Amino acid sequence: MRKLVILIISRIRATYYQLRYRSRVQLAIPQRRFEGHLDIRAVKNGKIIIGARNNFRQGCHLITTHNGLIDIGSANFFNYNVSITSLDSVSIGDDCKIANNVVIVDHDHDFRNNNNGYQTAPVTIKNGVWIGANAVITKGVTIGDHAVIAAGAVVVKDVANRTVVGGVPAKEITRF
């Protein structure tokens, strides 16, 4: 019975987003859970693709604009207040765990040009990654398979597979 309810709720939410955004939002069925409000916005040709069996806690934001793309795989967990914003491309693989208050962005304001415009570069988070609470993932970063990002880390450069990083800016702590 519970699986049937989850399937029905997933279908209703998918239908809502497809009616609102047409082909700019693709939401696979079923999803594990949408707890509370999930803020999905695809503005000015932005596109969001969400695979099946993801779990979104309350207060998550997925925002894309200016031809940006957010592509989320399957079986991921997003804790409270995760914010993902894309003007270029943010890709998240499968089986990732993202803790509360994590920010993932693929752009910066172009401060050298009086904050007119943006500097963008794709963000790629591969499979099985764990990102701790209050971490920030910045533009142009690739995080390898099964990497661990410590709580509070600011990731400004690539992280190798099976590597633990932490600090501001994030530095390698160990490999496993």
Distance CA 60, CA 44 (A): 20
> How many C-beta atoms surround the C-beta of residue 43 within 10 A?
12
> How many C-beta atoms surround the C-beta of residue 44 within 10 A?
11
Identity of the amino acid at 92 = I
Distance CA 67, CA 88 (A): 7
Annotated catalytic residue 109: yes
CA 141 to chain centre: 13
Q: Which of 37, 61, 66, 109 is catalytic?
A: 109
**Backbone torsions φ then ψ of 24, nearest 5 degrees:** -75, -15
Q: Which of 135, 74, 147, 149 is nearest to 105 (CA)?
A: 135
Paired strand residues for 166 = 171
Distance CA 27, CA 10 (A): 9
Tell me whether strands 123-125 and 103-105 are parallel, antiparallel or unpaired. Answer: unpaired
Which amino acids are annotated catalytic? 109
